[in-house]
Structure 1
Amino acid sequence: MADQVGDATPGKASRVGRGLGWSLLSTVLLRVGNLAVSVLVARLVAPETYGVFAVALTVWMLLSALSEFGLGADLVRAQDPARRAPTVATLGAVIGLVAAAAMAVTAGEVAAAFGSPESTDALRVMSLVPALFGLTIVPAALLQRAYRQRALFGVYAAGLVASAGCTVSLILLGAGATALAWGQVAGQAVMLVALHVAASHRPRFGLDGRLARESLSFSIPLAVANLVSWTLITVDNLIVSRELGIVALGLYVLAFNVSSWPMSAVGQAVRVVALPAFAETESARERNEGLLRSTGLLVMVAAAMGVGLATMATSVVTLLYGERWTAAAGALVGLAVFGASRVLLDLVATFLIAAGETRAVLLVQLLWLACMVPAMVVAVRAWGLAGAGWAHVVVVVVVVVPAYGVALRRVGVDVSALAGTCVLPLVAAVPATVACWVLARSGGPPLLLLAGGAACVVGLYLLPMLPWARRRLSELRHPLGDAEAVERIPA
C-alpha cells in the first residue's frame, strides 16, 4: 500500500509514504495528548459526572456520522474536487445544521431515554458541535487527498489544546458535565478555522444539481453505514446506562476509550492514507494485492496492543485513573480484544469503500447491529460490565468477520490468502498472552506489572516477529506486481 501497490511512480510513492509516516506519528502524539487530558479529567471528576457527559458524547458520535454524511470520502476519491467542493460544502453545512437542531430540540427526551435527565444541559451545549463540524468537511478532505498529514496533525493538536484548556478551566470553576461539553465545542471551533487556514481554502458555497446527485448517490449508503457503525459502538452505552445505571456508564465509557487506543493510534492513521491509496490504484488486482500485503503487519501491531491492554487491564486503569475507576477493568478485558479487532475491520471497510462497495459495507453494518443489540442486552444482564465487553468480541467473530469475507470475495479478494496473512501474527501472540496473564495475577504495584507486561510483549512477541515484519514491510515498499507476490505473502 505504501507505494500504491504496483504503481512505481516515485512522486506518488513518496507522498503516500510520507503521509503514512506523519499520520502514524501524529496519531500517536495526539493519542498521548488525549490520554493525558483524559487522565487529568478523570482525576478531577467522579464516574457519575463522566457518565452524564457520556450521554451527550454518545449522541454526538452518532450525529457526527450524519454530519459528515460520507461527503468527505466522496471528495477524496473524486476526479474533479475543485468543481465539486462548493456543492459538498453546501450539503455539509445544511446537514450539520439539521443535525444540530435535532440534537438541541430532543435533548430532554434523549436524556430521559438514557435514564439521565441531568444530561440535558450537556446535550444542548454539544448540539453546537455538528453545526461546526459540517463546515470542516471540504478542507479536511482536501488535506487528506493531498496526503498532508503534517498539516492535519497541527490542526488536531490545536483543537486538543483548546478543548483541554476550556474543559479543565470550567471544571475548576464547578461547571460539572457541561465543562466537558463546552470543551468539545471549543476544540471543534478551533479546528474549523485551522483547517481552512492549513488548506488555504476560502469557504465557497454553491449547488450543482448533477454533482449533488452524484455525491449523494455515493454518500448516502456510506452515511447510513457510518451511522450504523457508530451506533454499534454507542448503543452499548444506552444499554449499560439503562441496565446498570449512570455510574456504570461512566466506568464503561472510560474502559471503551482505553480499548480504542489501538484504533486511535494505528487504525485511524492507516485509514486516512489507505482510502486515497486504494482508490488511486490502476486496477482491481493491484488494489486487492495491496490489501493482502498490508493486513499481516496491521494484525501484528494491533495484536501486540490488544494483548497488553487485555491482560493488564486492572493495572492500566488503576495506575492512570486511580482506585475509584478500578471497576472499569472488568469491561476493559473484552473491550481490548474488540478494540484490536477494530483496526483490521476498519481497514477492510476502507478497502471496500475505495472499491465503491459502500452498499456492501452498509449491509455488513446492519447485520452487525441486528446481532449486537440482543447479544449486548443478554450479556449485560448476565455478566454486567464484563459481559458488555465480551459481547462485542463474540459478535465480531461469529457474524462480522464471515460477512466481510463474503463482501471481499465479491470484489475478487482471495479471502483464503487474506486469512493466511493473519495466522502467524495471531498464533505467535499466544506465548506473550499467557505470560502477561500469569504476571497480572501475581500481584504487585501497577507500574511494575505494566513494565513486566511490556517486556513480555516485546520479548516474547515483537522481537521474534521482527524478521517476518521486515519481509512484509519490504514487500510493501517493493511490490512484485505479479501473481508471485500473492503466493509469497503468507510464507
Structure 2
Amino acid sequence: MVVRQFGRLGFAVVLARLLGPTDFGVAAAATVYISLTAVLLEAGLSSSIVQKPDLRPQDEGATFWALAAIGLAMAGVTVLFSDEIAAFLDVPDLGPVLVALAASPVLKGVSNVVGAKLQRGLRFRAMAVTEISGTLAGGVLGVVAAELGMRYWALVVQQVGTDLIVLVLWFAAAGLPKLVVDRAALRHLRTFALPLVAAQMIGYGSRNIDNVVVSRFLGQTALSYYTVPYRIMLIPVSLLGNVANRVAFPVFAKVQDDRDRVRSVFLRITRVIGLVVLPAMLGVAVLADEFVETVFGAQWLPSAPVVQALAVTGILQSLTTPGGSVFMGLGRADVSFRWAWVPLTFVVPAFFLGLPWGVTGVATAYTIATVALTPFLVRAIGRLAGFGLRTWVRSVLPAFISTMPAAAAAWVVHIVARQHDFPAVATLIAGLAVVLAGYLVFLRVFFPPSFREGLAAVRLLSTGKLMKSA
C-alpha cells in the first residue's frame, strides 16, 4: 500500500507538472468517475466473499456474475451519457475521455472476486505484488503518454493499463473464480452485500459531491486546485485507514463473536494510526506553501490554503475509516447503510455554504462538517465494538498533545524562513525535521508507553504480526 499510494501520488505529481492546471482539470474530473467504479466494484459485493463464515463455490459464482453485470452496465451508461456528464461538469473535453475509461469497470468487475479470495485467505503478499506491479507499470505508461503529447489522455492510458495488468496477475495468482450459482448465494448477496453497496454509494456521494460542486460552479482550473490537495489529504486515509480495513476486515470476520477481541484490535489500530497521521498531516499543514511549491511547482501555490483546510479532515477520516471493517466484519451492513445517510445530509449542504469563498471555502466547510460528525460516527462504531467516545479520545490524545508543540516550532521555522527568503525546499526539509524531532522527544518524555507502543508497532508491521499481537 505504501508503493501503491505514493506511486499514485508520485505519478499524479508528474502528470500535474507535465499537463498544468487546465489539462489536469480534465483528468481530475475523470478521477471522480474512476472513484465511483471503485466504490461499486472494489469493496461492495466482493466483501461478501471475505465476510461469509463458510464460503461455497456458489457464493463465488453469484458474486462474480453480479460484478460482471454491474461493470458492463456501468460501461454502457458511461458511453451513453458521457456528453451529458461533461456538459454538466462544464468540462467539454471530458466526454471522449469517459468513453475510453468505460473499459475500467468491465476489467474491475471480472477481477474483484479473485482479489477478495486473496484477501479472505490473508494472502497479502500476492495482493501486494499484483497491485505494486499494476501501479508502477500503469503509471509509467501514463507518464510516457504525457511525454508523447497525449495531454489528459495520459490518465486513460494509466488507468486502463493498471486495471488490465492487475486483472492478469490476479488470475495468475488465484485462478479463475467458480461460475456456479444457487438461490442461497443470491440471498446472501441481497441481505449483506446490497446494503453495503448502497452505504458505499452514499459515502461516495458525500466524498465526491464537492468535486462536482467545484467543477460546476467554480470551473475546471479551480477543480485542479481543489483536487491536488484532496489527494494529499487522502494519503493517510488510503495508506493507513484503508490498509487497516483491508487487514482488519477478514480478522474481524473470523472473530466476530468475540467482542473483546474486536475492541482490542480496533483501538490498537486507532492508536497506531494516530501516532503517524497527526504529526504528518499537521506538519504538512503548517508548511503548506513550501510543500506545494516544492512538490507541485509554484503554479500550484493557490492550492496551499486548501491543503491547510483539509488537513483536519484527513486526520479524522484516517482515524475513523477502520470503523468500516467493524461494520463489515460483524456482518452489520445495515448499520453502515443507516449511518451513511448522516454525512450526506450534513456535509453536502456545507459545500454550497462554502462556495462564496472559493475552493478554500469549500474545503473549510468540509472540515467543519467532518469535525461535527466524527463523535457520532465514533459512538456508532463503539456500540458494536464495546467502547465509548472517551476511550477513543484517550487512545489518540498522547499523539495529539505531542504534535502541538512540534507543529508550533515548525510554524516558527516557516515564519523565519519567509522573512529571510529561504528556498522553499530548504524550509520544507528543516520544518519537517523540526516536527519529527520535536514530536518524538515530547512523546518519549511525557508519554513513554505510547512511544514504546509506536516502536513495537513498527517492528510488528515490518513482520506482518501487528494484528496477531493485538
Structure 2-normalised TM-score? Answer: 0.90
Shift in Å at residue 476 of structure 1?
8.0
Structure 2 unaligned spans of 5+ = 459-469
Residue 448 of structure 1 corresponds to: 426
Q: What is the alpha-carbon distance in structure 2 between the residues aligned to residue 404 and residue 380 of structure 1?
A: 29
The counterpart of 1:430, out of the listed 404, 413, 421, is: 404
Taking a change above 3 Å as real, the CA distance of residues 150 and 326 of structure 1, as seen in their structure-2 partners, is same
2:277 maps to a residue whose letter is A
In structure 2, distance between residues paired with 1:398 and 1:476: 30
Q: Is the Cα contact below 8 Å between 1:125 and 1:178 reproduced in 2?
A: no
Q: Alpha-carbon deviations, 1:278-321, whole Å to 9, x = none?
A: 22225122212322333222212111221122111111111111
| 1:46 alignment partner, SS class | helix
Distance 1:228 1:440 in 2: 40
Counterparts in 2 of 1:192-207, with a 5 A limit?
192-199=167-174, 201-207=175-181
> What corresponds to 2:151 in structure 1?
176
Match of 1:482 in 2: none
Give the superposition deviation at 1:390. 1.7
**3-state SS of paired residue (2:180):** coil
The amino acid that maps onto 2:271 is: G
Query: Does the residue aligned with 2:386 lie in a helix, a strand or coil?
Result: coil
**Which residue of structure 2 aligns with residue 102 of structure 1?**
77
Query: CA offset at residue 411 of structure 1?
Result: 5.2
SS across alignment from 1:116:
coil
Q: Which of 305, 325, 334 in structure 1 is aligned with 2:300?
A: 325
Aligned ranges 1:340-351 → 2 under 5 Å: 340-351=315-326
C-alpha RMSD of matched pairs (Å): 2.1
Say which of 133, 147, 150 aligns to 2:125: 150
Deviation of the 1:470 alpha carbon: 4.8
Q: Would the aligned equivalents of 2:39 and 2:200 in 1 still touch at CA under 8 Å? A: yes
Which residue is 2:328 aligned to? 353
Compute the displacement of 1:222 (Å).
Answer: 1.0
The answer to whether structure 1 residue 374 and structure 2 residue 355 are counterparts is no
Q: Please list, as runs of the form range in 1=range in 2, the aligned pairs for 1:45-444 lying within 5 A after superposition.
A: 45-68=19-42, 70-83=44-57, 84-199=59-174, 201-281=175-255, 282-381=257-356, 383-409=357-383, 412-442=386-416, 443=418, 444=422
How far apart, in 1, do the equivalents of 2:224 and 2:153 lie? 15
- How many angstroms does 1:273 deviate by? 0.7
SS of residue in 2 equivalent to 1:140: helix
2 CA distance for matches of 1:320 and 1:292?
34
**How far apart are 1:213 and its partner, in Å?**
1.4
Q: CA deviation at 1:462?
A: 2.8
Cα distance in 2, alignment partners of residues 104 and 180 from structure 1: 17
1:71 and 1:137 in contact (8 A); partners too: no
CA displacement, residues 382-405 of structure 1 (integer Å, 9 cap, x when unaligned): x21222222222111112332441
The code of the aligned residue for 1:141 comes to: A
Report if the CA contact (8 A) 2:78-2:98 is conserved: yes
Give me the TM-score of the superposition, normalised by structure 1: 0.87
Supply the AA of the counterpart residue of 1:313.
Answer: A
Question: What is the CA distance between 1:162 and its match in structure 2?
Answer: 2.7
2:93 is paired with a residue whose SS is helix
Task: Specify whether residues 222 and 173 from structure 1 end up closer, same or farther in structure 2 by C-alpha distance, changes over 3 A only.
Answer: same
Once the two structures are aligned, what percentage of the paired residues are identical? 27
Once the 2 structures are TM-superposed, how far is the Cα of residue 158 of structure 1 from its aligned partner? 1.6
In the aligned structure 1, how far is the partner of 2:23 from the partner of 2:202? 27
Deviations 1:161-190, CA, capped at 9 Å, x for gaps: 332232123223322212212320111011
| Partner-residue secondary structure (3-state), 2:150 | coil
User: Structure 2: how far apart are the matches of 1:220 and 1:389?
Assistant: 31
Write out per-residue CA displacement over residues 71-123 of structure 1, whole angstroms, 9 at most, x where no aligned residue: 22211122233422122111111111111211221111111111112211111
Measured against aligned partners, the alpha-carbon deviations of 1:418-456 in whole angstroms (never above 9, x if no partner) come to 222122222222111212223223322122122122222
Q: Structure 1: where are the runs of 5+ without partners?
A: 1-26, 478-488
Structure 1 residues 203 and 290 mapped into 2: Cα distance closer, same or farther (>3 Å)? closer
Q: What is the aligned counterpart of 2:450 among 469, 473, 486?
A: 469
The 1-side partners of 2:12 and 2:86 are apart by: 23
Q: How has the CA–CA distance of structure 1 residues 272 and 132 changed in structure 2, closer, same or farther, with 3 Å as cutoff?
A: same
- Residues 38 and 58 of structure 1: CA distance in aligned 2, closer, same or farther (over 3 Å): same
AA aligned opposite 1:456: V
SS of equivalent to 1:234: helix
- Matched residues, number: 450
Task: Report SS of the residue matched to 2:29.
Answer: helix
Counterpart CA distance in 2 for 1:410 and 1:164 is 40
Q: What are the Cα deviations for residues 306-352 of structure 1, in whole angstroms up to 9, with x where unaligned? A: 11221111111111111111111121111122112211110122222
> Does 2:13 match 1:36?
no
Tell me which amino acid in the other structure corresponds to 2:93.
Answer: E
